[in-house]
Amino acid sequence: MSETASRIADGLGRLARVLRKGAWEGAGARGLTPTQGEILRHVAAAASPPRLGAIAKALGVRPATASKAVSALLDKGLVQKTAAPEDARALALTLTAKGRREATRAEAWPEVVASVAAGLDEDEQAVLLRSIVKLIRRLQLRGEIDARTCAGCAYFRPYAHPRSAAPHHCAFVDAPFGDAALRVDCPDFVEAPEGIANEIRTRFLRVVG
């Protein structure tokens, strides 16, 4: 590992501690744990009611941990069980009205970092976002995280418009876009098939093989 990579890892670790501290403080003030807050945010952002297994995978926690957190949210009246859209025999989760309000509050937990990021100029923000999306996708390829980023999506066409301020293309909306519009969590995400995934690896992640 290069010295620069080590410094990046150290810097990300320090940011993670700030986020973790903010999550505990924000959650604790409302009687929630960070995991419970993350579940509320995930259910709120999901295109369709997610099942427990999908929630555990998205959050990178054990199914037992997710199940315990969901049970607490059910007891608090923040989520409710419903039939899964793809299988009426399976159960999925939706938010109650109270849960939607809490999910909105939970979105503000990383505000301290967002406010600092807002102090960067637009080009710096775009470069940082591109780097974050790349890091998340690389972790996903290693099985360390589950995410719905542009970098893993079937609709993503990286650098389809070279030498343009909006070099990428989204086939879902059929429109070009720039780094500043890259998604970290997109409700319209569809996992890229092998051919497109390989293109993303070589063109966007700069990984061959």
**pLDDT at res. 88:** 66
Question: Is residue 11 scored above 60 in pLDDT?
Answer: yes
Whole-number Å distance between alpha carbons of 108 and 114: 9
60 is a domain residue: yes
List the domain range (segments joined by +) for residue 158. 133-203
Question: Is residue 15 scored above 90 in pLDDT?
Answer: no
Q: Are residues 9 and 77 in the same domain?
A: yes
Q: Report the SS3 class of residue 93.
A: strand
Pick from 30, 51, 24, 31: which is nearest to 39 by CA?
Answer: 51
Residue reference for tokens 């993350």: 38
Q: Compute the residue count for the chain.
A: 209
pTM exceeding 0.85: no
Q: What is the pLDDT of residues 144-188, one digit of tens each?
A: 888 889 999 999 999 999 999 999 999 999 999 999 999 998 989
Where does the pLDDT of residue 90 fall: very low under 50, low under 70, confident under 90, or very high at 90 and above?
Answer: confident
125 is a domain residue: no
209 is a domain residue: no
DSSP 27: H
Strand order in the sheet with 156-157: 156-157, 168-170, 175-177
Which two tokens mark 61?
Answer: 């926690």
What mean pLDDT is reported for the chain?
88
Average pLDDT over residues 67-78: 94
Average pLDDT over residues 8-23: 81
Which two tokens mark 114?
Answer: 């967002």
65 is a domain residue: yes
**pLDDT at res. 26:** 66
CA atoms within 13 A on the CB side of 115: 7
**pLDDT at res. 209:** 47
CA angle 98–104–108, rounded 5-degree value: 140
